[in-house]
Structure 1
Amino acid sequence: MIEAVIAWILLLAVAAYACGGGTDYGAGFWDLVAGGADRGSAPRRLIDHAMAPVWEVNNVWLIFVLVLMWTGFPELFRIVFSAMWLPLALAVVGLVLRGAGFALRKPTRRLAGRRVYGAAFAISSVLTPFFLGAAVGGVATGKVGTGTTASADAWSNPTSVIAGLLAVASSAFLGAVFLTGDARRLGEDALVAYFRRRALLSLAVLAVLALVGLRVTRDDASHVHYGLTHGTGLVLVAVAAGCAVATALLLLRDATTWSRVTALGSVALVVAAWGIAQRPYLVPTSLTVAEGAGSSATLRWLLVVTLVAVVLVGPALVFLYWLDTHGKLQPLTDAELADEPS
């Protein structure tokens, strides 16, 4: 049925945002914990260099997710944004502050101003994925539904907290893996070792949080827990774990290109496992995919628009990511800008 197809597209879009946006959030996380102005100057310089070409593009996936929810599953959109408007509003504020901080930090000449903008960018890079993850965790518990009013219980329960922490940790993992590759490409051996250690550390934290999450969801989100520990969901979780282990081994062997692929695979597979674990529900166990879907005409047009976007926008995004990961998008220096003809 067409609503099932749209639901799969929505899940793929969420996975794409978790990977693309998560990598950017992870870079901000490492910016936050890089240390003072002297100690953190080299990591922050690499972070600025790596993020500059693509950080805005990754928000395309978030917009696409919202459009799919709003038009394809309006009841899901209404439930989520009614019951959890506060964490989602905080995430939006974080997105705005993060973008402004990153855009204004580099051109600002005064050290005090750079610190303020840098702090806004870095702190928001942690808070935004946490609140988005907490909202996802709230949905997984099934504590929201038709008629549910805004309540802290909907997004501050144990599953929501663990989901938020997992979102931050997975972002840190992806960010460190990609920054390791950027450092290798630029010949910064010291930064290769620096970010490789952080990638392995964040992977260890992820493993611990995943084990805690399995214990927490057993009672707090039983439907999703069952889906993650049985059948297809369990297979995907196992493959994701294998990709994570492969990432660690590849990083130790300096195979930074393939480590990016396996790192993205591990995160995308976990998102896919979560989606499959919720079947057949959008909100366990009160709203099924069929019940939450919009009209058939709307879904058909949404499918057409999605196909058009894949054909027109997809190749451009793939090409942009290829250019960025192959070092073809180098920002202009001040000296180069000064040489530009007026």
Structure 2
Amino acid sequence: MPLEEIFLSAMWICVIAYALFGGADFGGGFWDLIAGRTVKGRPQRDLIEHSIGPIWEANHVWLIFVIILAWTGVPPVFAAVSSTLYIPLTLAALGIIARGSAFAFRKASTELWQERLFGAAFAISSVLTPFFLGTVAGALASGRVPLAIAGGHPIQSWINPTSLTSGILAVVTTAYLAAVYLTHDARRQRDAGLVEVFRARGIAAGIAMGLLGAAEVLVLRQDAPVLFRELTRWPALPLVILSACTGVASLSLLWFRHFLAVRLTAALAVAALLAGWGLAQYPEILPGVTLEEVSATQSVLTANLIAIVIAAVLVLPSLWWLYAMFQRDLQNQPSEDIGPQPGSESDRRIEQEGS
């Protein structure tokens, strides 16, 4: 396999990893947004905070890898994308910054109004950030980013049918992944009420994701016919079918309360969809431009691949150990630690302050 293909495969794996891990964290912010008022939503928000707290910033390592690899491995593509799609990329970056700051400030806040302010900032930015990243993906999928510095329209490149449906689909997908993960976390904390809450939300989000995925196919047929044609033939079609089948399987597993297995099928559904998109667009990276034409020199690609291997040796075991330690802590934590229960003295105090 040529170095260019190995390099692109490694970068696409990072894209998928960010969608699965970082996406689930963004989805947690979505459920935080609609959890309800202070007392009613506190158990849900406490579970979300406990689930993403130790690992949420670590997940951005995948996005950093993607940015660096694109910058060094396919510099003309990086220049074209960043100069054409600078508006949604800037808004996504601001959303990541606002989300991180608000999450940290809410945790350290002592006043109820501060918790509400920073909580709202955290939740809203958790929804807007994947939306803008989805519009960037839609712009690339529909071929609206030419190989030139600021060659595409700064507005129409990301405000179009494919980009908008991709942005909405990204938000719903993150919400679905988060609901699936939180259902299993709630079961480990032996909170039957939260299990049912996130189970119902996972089923609803899964159905919404399937309907939006079907709508996206129809939009691609009209707005991005080249990509639609490639998605309906080998080698992308088997992955699209796999994504649909594992999505249906995930809904069944949620319905019958197989909360550990559904984590795998839900992740596979999203990963297969992204992999299918990548294969459908390959070998073109941008319209009329192949990977070989925009790749860096062989020496640069070799140096990047060596750095990828070193990073994998250092980062992957660390992340695995972090996840393992956190999951062990969550499993051993008693359910009483989730937060104040309705009717408790602390809840009554918060309710009085909120009124």
Do the structures match in fold with TM over 0.5? yes
RMSD (Å), alpha carbons = 1.5
Does the 8 Å CA contact 1:83/1:151 hold for their aligned counterparts?
yes
Q: Provide the identity percentage.
A: 40
CA distance in 2, matches of 1:130, 1:27: 14
Query: Which amino acid is 2:325 matched to?
Result: L
CA distance in 1, matches of 2:145, 2:249: 37
For residue 319 of structure 2, the aligned residue among 309, 317, 332 is 317
Runs of 4+ with deviation above 4 angstroms: 328-331
Structure 2 counterpart of 1:300: 302
Structure 2 counterpart of 1:21: 22
For residue 191 of structure 1, the aligned residue among 189, 194, 197 is 194
Q: 1:91 to 1:330 in 2, by over 3 A?
A: farther
Query: Which amino acid is 2:315 matched to?
Result: V
Structure 2 counterpart of 1:231: 234
Q: 1:120 to 1:329 in 2, by over 3 A?
A: farther
Q: Which runs of no fewer than 5 residues in structure 1 stay unpaired?
A: 334-342
Does the 8 Å CA contact 2:99/2:126 hold for their aligned counterparts?
yes
Residue 273 of structure 1 pairs with residue 280 of structure 2: no
Does the 8 Å CA contact 2:102/2:119 hold for their aligned counterparts?
yes
Does the 8 Å CA contact 2:144/2:152 hold for their aligned counterparts?
no
Deviations 1:56-91 (A, max 9, x none): 110000000101100011111001100000000000
CA distance in 1, matches of 2:39, 2:232: 47
Residue 170 of structure 1 pairs with residue 183 of structure 2: no
Deviations 1:14-66 (A, max 9, x none): 00000010000000000011111122111111111111111111000000010
Structure 2 counterpart of 1:340: none
Q: Secondary structure at the match of 1:282?
A: strand
How many positions carry a matched residue from both structures?
331
Query: Which amino acid is 2:299 matched to?
Result: A
CA distance in 1, matches of 2:54, 2:273: 27
Q: Secondary structure at the match of 2:108?
A: coil
Does the 8 Å CA contact 2:188/2:330 hold for their aligned counterparts?
no
Residue 47 of structure 1 pairs with residue 45 of structure 2: no
Does the 8 Å CA contact 1:180/1:191 hold for their aligned counterparts?
yes
CA distance in 2, matches of 1:164, 1:256: 27
> Given the two structures, how large is their TM-score scaled by the length of structure 2?
0.90
Structure 1 counterpart of 2:112: 111
CA distance in 2, matches of 1:329, 1:10: 33
Structure 1 counterpart of 2:245: 242
> Given the two structures, how large is their TM-score scaled by the length of structure 1?
0.94
Structure 2 counterpart of 1:336: none
Deviations 1:260-296 (A, max 9, x none): 111111111111011011011112x222111121111
Residue 125 of structure 1 pairs with residue 126 of structure 2: yes
CA distance in 1, matches of 2:216, 2:276: 14
Q: 1:208 to 1:192 in 2, by over 3 A?
A: same
CA distance in 2, matches of 1:207, 1:84: 28
CA distance in 2, matches of 1:273, 1:149: 25
Q: Which runs of no fewer than 5 residues in structure 2 stay unpaired?
A: 338-355
Does the 8 Å CA contact 1:85/1:150 hold for their aligned counterparts?
no
CA distance in 1, matches of 2:104, 2:90: 21
Shift of 1:314: 1.3
Q: 1:70 to 1:329 in 2, by over 3 A?
A: farther
Q: Secondary structure at the match of 1:53?
A: coil
CA distance in 1, matches of 2:302, 2:261: 38
